Amino acid sequence: MAIIKPEILAMRATRTSSLFLFFLIGAFAFVSAQSQAIKEAVDLGSKTAKDGFKNEDEIRDKFNNWRSDVDAKNWLASMNYRIGEIESVIASKPHGEKADVEVKVKTRSGEKTEGISIKLVSSPTGFNQIDKRWLSHYVKMWKIGADTEYALKLFVGEIPPVRLGRDPRRMYLNELDQTSQVAVVDFFTMHKEEIVSDLFQGNGVHAAGWVMVAFKATANTRWAIRTSADTIKFFGDGKVEITRAGNLKIGRVTMQRKGGDGGRETAKMLQFKINPVQLFDLK
């Protein structure tokens, strides 16, 4: 039996220790990078939400200063009010409603409350969420059938994938079997008008009768305000189809799994998005 010299054993031990240390450093760096990426994603979502709230506050304040604010006067005129007939304007922010700002306008002929859904965008190709909820909420609200519900549970990841695909957590719509794909497309085609209306306008006393876009790509903000009826017709125009990315296109509205959120359960929520800048094309 060969005898290994002590100095060789020491060299091997040193090499093994070095490799182990290198592995630990690499693993730590990977975990740190992953944690940082998750933190950045969460921070970005938080910043987007805060910017949206600031935008709503700004618009509320501009309405409340309507006598001296040129933008507010233009908005009120676009909402078919004659500035000379307005006696008072009181704007407020309801909590958790489809209308982000409610404007109570008193004129010589009476008083009316206008609900406005507000979308902030800083890029001409940017997207903005118009609605996001748990799938179960939509199932109840739109009376989604069992076959379509099952397909959407696979889509958001409430049910694990039934076969290997691009994402081990969920299935994209174009990875579902043909019967499930048809069920999803047929349901949203049949109920498209109701669905798009709920996404933009909502219902009840806090429904949004107007949609406003604040386009802040430059120092000079561009504004657009349109009736919800016209907005619904515009964004709902087009067929319902599954995209190459495996999401659902409902006219100009995209339905997708929310994702992000550092892998938390809320990533499984269903989300509807639009490019708000397109509203400027609606005359």
216-262: pLDDT as tens digits? 877 788 999 999 999 999 999 999 999 999 999 999 999 999 998 77
Q: Fill in the amino acid letter for 132.
A: K
CA-CA distance, 253 to 272, in Å (whole number)? 7
Q: Is the dihedral of CA 207, 96, 195, 75 positive or negative?
A: positive
Residue 189 has pLDDT above 50, yes or no: yes
Q: Return d(Cα 229, Cα 135) in angstroms, integer.
A: 25
CB 171 within 8 A of CB 162: yes
Which of 94-98, 205-209, 268-272 is least confident? 94-98
Q: What is the pLDDT of residues 75-132, one digit of tens each?
A: 999 999 999 999 999 999 998 788 999 999 999 999 999 999 999 988 888 889 999 9
Tokens coding 78? 């676009």
* Cβ atoms of 213 and 279 closer than 8 Å: yes
What pLDDT shows up at residue 18? Answer: 53
Helix (H, G, I), strand (E, B) or coil at 79: coil
DSSP string, 183-196: HHHHHHHHTHHHHH
Q: Write out the two tokens for 182.
A: 């048809």
Percent pLDDT > 70 in the chain is: 81
Residue 51 has pLDDT above 90, yes or no: no
Whole-number pLDDT of residue 15: 57
Tokens representing 20 are 């182990």
